[in-house]
Amino acid sequence: MANTFTTNITPEQGEKLLSYIQAKEFTITNPPYAHFSAKTKGLSITYYESGKLVVQGKEKDEFIRFTLEPEILNTLEYSHPITTVDTHEHIGVDEAGKGDLFGPLCIAALHADTKGIETLLEMGVKDSKQMSDPTILKLSKQIKQSFSFEIFSLYPAKYNELYGKFKNLNHLLAWCHSRVIDTVATATKCSDVLIDQFASEHLVANAVKKLHVPVNLRQRHKGESDPVVAGASILARAAFVEGISKLSEHYKMDLPKGASSLVVKAGKNFVKLYGEEELKSVAKLHFKTINEILQKLDES
């Protein structure tokens, strides 16, 4: 990639990008002719009123590969070639909830052979980000009835405890991925594993070396284009939706998804009702949004 990355985005994509930035350690300004400009160590992002987005800095490539393209643009045309569907037997792995302040982090592994992959395609399985929650919940039930799978739901209380040990989300994710891979690979005797790549390849590669069974691990950007990974993404998303609903019911208040201003408002109301200490039971405490919630609470 060149030193400067430039593309055009829609207002909806701009709002989604801003929500992401607001949840991270960025300094946000409003220069002339721009919706916003954001800077953090090694990265500068400016979204202009014309719709043009400019990304610069030494961390540019990693931001584009792991966040901008898969999460905002939903395309890989700038950094990766289009991949073909893998019809061979394999295990797919994906996660949900890592960008949401409230609710669990959910990781799912799904096994399918050639016939099973055909079944997934017939079901209409695709990237869960392109589906509504009711559709995801319905498909998840169908997948569970026909396939071998494993889902690991890490609720906030345990998530915060483990994050305190790992000190890094990607290291925690790699550990979680290895758990579900180990279970499904052991049960199915399938050694071919494909995951949606979320960080440097060595992280998960090192984690799976500790498994009870050896596996051939492949990592792909935009992995949900693979029907088995897409099926795993549906299982993970359904588990997240069910998990955040369960927490909402328990605390008798709506806990919104994401990390937007609505989430800050809900967090503020939660602290008023249950106290700051109880946040660890519903929220991921390392998010920058936590500071916004507590700051806004002090200012109210």
In the chain, what are the domain boundaries?
Answer: 4-73, 90-245
**Order of strands across the sheet that contains 4-8:** 4-8, 52-56, 43-48, 34-40, 27-29
Q: Strand 90-96 to strand 192-196: parallel, antiparallel, or no bridges (unpaired)?
A: parallel
pLDDT band at 93 (very low <50, low <70, confident <90, very high): very high
| pLDDT tens, position by position, 237-253 | 999 999 999 999 999 99
| pLDDT tens, position by position, 65-90 | 888 887 888 776 666 544 556 788 99
pLDDT at 10 over 70: yes
| pLDDT tens, position by position, 255-286 | 999 888 899 999 999 999 999 999 999 999 99
Task: Match domain 90-245 to its CATH number in 3.30.420.10, 3.40.50.740, 3.90.1150.110, 3.40.50.2000.
Answer: 3.30.420.10
Please give the Cα distance from 233 to 107 (Å, whole number): 8
| pLDDT tens, position by position, 154-181 | 999 999 999 999 988 988 999 999 999 9
Please give the Cα distance from 256 to 244 (Å, whole number): 8
Give helix 261-274 / helix 227-251 axis angle, nearest 10°.
40
Output the pLDDT for position 143.
97
Looking up tokens 């994710």 gives: 173
The mean pLDDT value for 201-217 works out to: 78
The three-state secondary structure class of 210 is: coil
In the chain, the N- to C-terminal Cα span, in Å, equals: 46
What kind of fold does domain 4-73 have according to CATH? Answer: TATA-Binding Protein (3.30.310)
